[in-house]
Amino acid sequence: MIRALARRLAWALLVVWAVASVAFVLNNVIPGDPAQLIAGPQARAADVQRVRADLGLDRPLAVQYARYMTRLVHAGAWTFDSKADKAHATCAAFVPGLHVDLGRSYTLRQPVVKVLGDRIPRTLVLAVAAVALQLAFGVTAGVLAARRKNSFVDYFAVGGSLLGISAPTFLIGLFLQFVFAYKLHVLPKDGYGETFAEHAAGIVLPALTLGIFGAAYYTRLVRDEMIGLLGQDHVRTARAKGLGEGAVVMKHGLRNALVPLVTVVGLDLGALVGGAIVTESIFRWPGLGSLSVNALQNRDGPVILGTVIVTSTAIVASNLLVDALYAALDPRVRR
Amino acid sequence: MRSIRKRCEALVSIAAAGAAFAILLNGIGCQSSLPAPIPSQATPEDAPRRGGTLRIASLGEPRGFDPATAADGLSATIVNLLFDGLVDYDDHNRIIPVLAERWEVTDAGRTYRFFLREGVRFHDGEELTADDVKRSVERALHPTTPSSWASQFAAIDGFERYTEKNEPHLDGVVVEGRYVVSFRLAHPDAAFLAFLALYPTRPVCRSGGDRVSPSWHPCGAGPFRLPPDGWRRGQSVDVVRHDAYFRPGMPYLDGVRLLLLVNPTTQRFKFLEGELDFFRDLSASDATRFRNDPRWKALGDDEVDRTVTGEAMNVEMPPFDNVEVRRAVAAAIDREHYRLLKPPAISVADQPIPPAVPGHDSAIRGQRYDYAAALDHMRRAGYPYDLATGTGGYPHVIEYLAYDAGFPVFSAQILQQELAKIGLRIEIKLLSFPAFIALTHKRKRVPFSLGSWDQDYPDASDFLDTLFSSETIAQEQSPNTSFYRNEELDSLLKRAREEQDEPARLRMYKTASQIVCDEAPWAFTHYYHYYSMKQAYLRGYRPHPVRVMYMASTWLDRAGVRTAQRAAPLFRDALGSIFGSGR
């Protein structure tokens, strides 16, 4: 068991390293000069050269790569003063004896670990809230639609999910903002806020936007899966044995329908941790999505690589979690 | 029968959903008309009032507020509030003294001597002296400073020794007394005051040190200061009044709050509800709606044309190494078609210098649409084209680069259609902005591309020297994207930079503009400006010819707030009452 776990973790690390390396190469081979963008398109060549030297981009690409990878995780003191200790000015210590250094953002001029440290919790909260809403709406609507197939409830759920899938996220977001913030004034238009109450109020619309979009998929998934399951022999047998309809649906229908759902939820959660770019932009939620968009526009290599590493780690971790949940849900997997 | 019933049920469901949606839209008041502006309290003649925080917003995120390294427009907006310079531009493009009480130019334009105001205080309470001016200039131009502007100050005596040989001080900046500092130039530079009026060399507090550091907290002598937690990255920037500002009673505002990363739709919602006092990122449709509403029209401002845009032709690559082909392109474009893409913000261009910049001259023979002349130029170039039969013209397809954003995509399509009429076929390639900049600034890489130049300072040299002088040609990062080289023009521009007599200097730029129009390294298409809206209660605001969203002399005169805005969001209030207001 421990060996299997270690093997999975080793593969996970390899995947993250490979993704980061590909991102590093891609970011450097596609046209676009970060120094030129930071100096401004109107800067003269001599001034662009100053900026390039300051960013360390005047070194050969292989040297830049080697430096990045050797600095990424390296030995270092648990406590240190990043302002006084120039060698570790852009580091963070997550475990004793090990530093993580993702470099300094070209545009924000802050250590990337600090930038990500500020953004990740906000994106995580939004991702969890969104997935919770997706599950709450999607599973409920899917079960009801399956239970009352070809009824008004089914048509409403299927029609609603069709609308949710078809409508682009930005349209859902702007519509919710227009209705609940601009017209009804029950929620703030955008922003993260400064107090807990403001954070909580601020997350409702972005989470709802993502929730509606994702719930549409889950509704269709759960409904179709449940309809198939509820017509199977073992369900008929359960009913024949006198089991109540609620128990039939929950134990023999929903539980089995959750297996494919867990896969989708796991992937969704991993992707959402990478940042819900459109939603975060509409609602000015300062998470990883808006950060990565700005970083791409400015060719801010250290931030791009940092977000790639975080996102790939999240996706790998959520896949590991999904595998563990499979085992919990389906005894055959454990065998 | 059951099937028919089910279908009916489905139809009823759809109808019910549609009706519910319509009722919802009606109930929340989906309408296209704008609400009335929020009134101001006083009559226009009333004296300015102190107090209040002005709220503005932007689509972007600033990069930093150190004047020595700031390079993006949004950072400049805040830098201009935090840092004053020795001189600045007034509302009419004239250079006026600010931290300097006066200045004199001697030695045939080689020495600029500034007499500082006494008693000017930095944000940290220290007094501004000539030493601070010298230290700040040396800090900004030091070779380790990632400055986007340093080379513009190359005329200062000793600049090369300071930047290349690492000498400890810049000889050309001389402290002549506690309040007297002079700049000695290696050669006269008529644009020197214009550079000094920009922000890079503005005095910074002693805490700024001799060298730039990313951890420095911005501190200057401007009308506002940045509190320790004033910049919440990705969210907002708050600056507050500098109480010891040297102008008595100024600024009127308690502070300015800049909301970051706000999309244009949300900005409109916030502006209409009085949550923003100023609105600049208007879409074309919003600009039209505000302009056409008589209640709002008077609150709109057209900023000056700061940008010249055109089609840049690489004179080192065929077919644009042939001047007749370039002239044909310049004559084939009907600029009116470009203007119609965004009428509120665009005016037709016929020369390199925008109308508000000294050096623009309506008397020159500018580029204009003349289809017959375009065909004639193609014939002289050796590529005659017959429109009736569609035969002739340049035999190869020309690659044209633009970046993938709304306007450039549409203008590229117009260009493609216009040039097809004279026998030039172009293949449009749309790139991301970073890739577009990288490729178009590289020598012998792109034959034809969109060209655009935003004014850094309102002087003809900013446009002509940078875009068309051979001195700015580089293998990579070349601002001269047409790679145009003309000895006569170079000589003229050099003499104009040194000419101290302003009328004579403007005559030289008129000749230079004429050369550029005739030789057509660019086909100039349009000038661009922003259209902005302000609330009726925002007083004292006039668009500045150089600075963007400059609010240092504005004040708020607000009669009341909308009901909607006064009622804070119910949900937030409910949560606040449950959890309190702790962070």
What interface predicted TM-score (ipTM) does this complex get? 0.81
Q: Say if CB A30 and CB B435 are below 8 A apart.
A: yes
| More confident call, B566 vs B187 | B187
Long-range contacts of B406-411 (CB under 8 A, 24+ apart): B407/B341, B407/B342, B408/B450, B410/B341, B411/B338, B411/B341, B411/B450, B411/B525
Choose among A50, A160, A184: nearest Cβ to B28. A184
Strand pairing report for B173-177 and B180-184? antiparallel
Quick check: A282 and B263 CB within 8 A? yes
| Per-residue pLDDT, B541 | 93
- Report the range of poorest mean pLDDT among A102-116, B85-99, B290-304, B561-575: B561-575
* A273 domain-assigned: yes
Per-residue pLDDT for B320 more than 60?
Answer: yes
Sign (positive or negative) of CA dihedral A225, A228, A233, A235: positive
CA distance B166 to chain A (A): 14
Confidence of residue A90 (pLDDT cuts 50, 70, 90): confident
pLDDT tens profile B76-103? 999 999 999 999 998 888 999 999 999 9
Structural domains in chain B plus CATH codes? 38-58+223-303+531-576 (3.40.190.10), 73-208 (3.90.76.10), 305-528 (3.10.105.10)
| Per-residue pLDDT, A323 | 80
Average pLDDT, integer, range B426-451: 93
Confidence of residue B505 (pLDDT cuts 50, 70, 90): very high
What pairs with residue A126 in β-bridges?
none
| Per-residue pLDDT, A84 | 73
pTM: 0.85
* A83 domain-assigned: no
Whether a cis peptide bond, with omega within 30° of 0, leads into B319 is yes
Amino acid at B528: Y
Quick check: A186 and B265 CB within 8 A? no
pLDDT tens profile B137-177? 999 999 999 998 998 899 999 999 998 877 889 999 999 99
| Average pLDDT in chain B | 89
CB atoms within 10 A of CB B392: 16
Which of B342, B336, B333, B345 has its CA nearest to residue B406? Answer: B342
| Per-residue pLDDT, A54 | 86
pLDDT tens profile B44-81? 667 888 999 999 999 988 989 999 999 888 999 999 99
Quick check: B150 and A50 CB within 8 A? yes
Collapsing DSSP states into helix, strand and coil, what is residue B2?
Answer: helix
Amino acid at B523: A
Choose among A156, A282, A297: nearest Cβ to B433. A297
**A286 CB within 8 Å of a chain B CB:** yes
Average pLDDT, integer, range B544-557: 91
Q: Which of A209-213, A304-308, B44-48, B210-214 has the highest mean pLDDT?
A: A304-308
Quick check: B438 and A31 CB within 8 A? yes
Domain that residue A267 falls in: 113-334
Per-residue pLDDT for A150 more than 70?
Answer: yes
Nearest chain B residue to A195, by CA: B583
**B473 CB within 8 Å of a chain A CB:** no
- Residue B397 has which token pair? 């397809």
Q: How far is Cα B264 from Cα B57, in angstroms, rounded to an integer?
A: 9
**B307 CB within 8 Å of a chain A CB:** no
B47-106 residues touching A, CB cutoff 8 A: 61, 63-64, 71-72
CA distances from B456 to A173, B64, B280, B543, B546 (A): 38, 18, 19, 16, 8
DSSP classification of residue B191: T
Choose among A33, A204, A291: nearest Cβ to B571. A204
pLDDT tens profile B565-582? 444 455 555 555 444 443
Choose among A45, A156, A194: nearest Cβ to B13. A156
Q: Say if CB B255 and CB B54 are below 8 A apart.
A: yes
CA distance B379 to chain A (A): 36
Q: Say if CB B131 and CB A36 are below 8 A apart.
A: no
**A104 CB within 8 Å of a chain B CB:** yes
| Per-residue pLDDT, B580 | 43
**Distance in angstroms between the alpha carbons of the first and the last residue of chain A:** 13
| Average pLDDT in chain A | 86
Q: Say if CB A109 and CB B71 are below 8 A apart.
A: no
Average pLDDT, integer, range B452-471: 92
A306-325 residues touching B, CB cutoff 8 A: none
Average pLDDT, integer, range A88-92: 85
| Per-residue pLDDT, B276 | 96
Q: How far is Cα B327 from Cα B299, in angstroms, rounded to an integer?
A: 42
Per-residue pLDDT for A186 more than 70?
Answer: yes
CA distance A43 to chain B (A): 6
CA distance A32 to chain B (A): 4
DSSP classification of residue B123: T
Q: Nearest 5°: CA angle at B140, between B442 and B246?
A: 130
| More confident call, A245 vs B258 | B258
Per-residue pLDDT for B510 more than 80?
Answer: yes
CB atoms within 10 A of CB B514: 16
* Run of H or E including B515: helix B502-519
| Per-residue pLDDT, B566 | 42
Distance of CA B333 to the CA centre of its chain: 26
| Per-residue pLDDT, B573 | 52
* Run of H or E including B115: strand B111-116
Choose among A45, A194, A294: nearest Cβ to B477. A45
Quick check: B583 and A298 CB within 8 A? no
CA distance B582 to chain A (A): 6
Quick check: A36 and B24 CB within 8 A? no
Q: Give the total number of structural domains in chain A.
A: 1
Per-residue pLDDT for B562 more than 60?
Answer: no
Quick check: A184 and B478 CB within 8 A? no
Quick check: A119 and B234 CB within 8 A? yes
| Per-residue pLDDT, A334 | 62
Quick check: A118 and B13 CB within 8 A? no
Confidence of residue B421 (pLDDT cuts 50, 70, 90): very high
Nearest chain A residue to B456, by CA: A42
Quick check: B13 and A152 CB within 8 A? yes
Quick check: B235 and A196 CB within 8 A? no
pLDDT tens profile B2-18? 455 555 555 555 555 55
Per-residue pLDDT for B420 more than 80?
Answer: yes
* A51 domain-assigned: no
Q: How far is Cα B118 from Cα B520, in angstroms, rounded to an integer?
A: 51
Instruction: Give me the percent of chain B exceeding a pLDDT of 90.
Output: 73
DSSP string, A195-237: SHHHHHHHHHHHHHHHHHHHHHHHHHHHHHHHHHHHTSHHHHH
Task: Find which of B163, B481, B571 to mutate to test the A interface (most A CBs within 10 Å of its CB).
Answer: B571
CATH code of the domain in which A244 resides: 1.10.3720.10
Confidence of residue A94 (pLDDT cuts 50, 70, 90): confident
| Per-residue pLDDT, A333 | 67
Average pLDDT, integer, range B22-33: 53
Per-residue pLDDT for A45 more than 70?
Answer: yes
Q: What b/e string do you get for A243-253 counting C-beta neighbours within 10 Å, with b at 16 or more? A: eeeeebbeebb
Choose among A42, A155, A298: nearest Cβ to B13. A155
| Per-residue pLDDT, A160 | 87
Give chain A positions within 8 Å (CB) of B431: 31
- Report the range of poorest mean pLDDT among B18-22, B113-117, B178-182, B435-439: B18-22
| Per-residue pLDDT, B65 | 95
Instruction: Give me the percent of chain B exceeding a pLDDT of 70.
Output: 90
Give chain B positions within 8 Å (CB) of A159: 13-14, 17
* Run of H or E including B139: helix B130-141
What pairs with residue B239 in β-bridges?
B256
Task: Find which of B166, B266, B483, B581 to mutate to test the A interface (most A CBs within 10 Å of its CB).
Answer: B266
Average pLDDT, integer, range A190-197: 89
Quick check: B437 and A36 CB within 8 A? yes
Inter-chain contacts counted by CB atoms under 8 A, chains A and B: 206
Sign (positive or negative) of CA dihedral B341, B346, B351, B353: negative
- Residue B390 has which token pair? 């569609």
Give chain B positions within 8 Å (CB) of A54: 144-146
Per-residue pLDDT for B351 more than 90?
Answer: yes
CA atoms within 13 A on the CB side of A127: 26
Average pLDDT, integer, range A216-229: 89
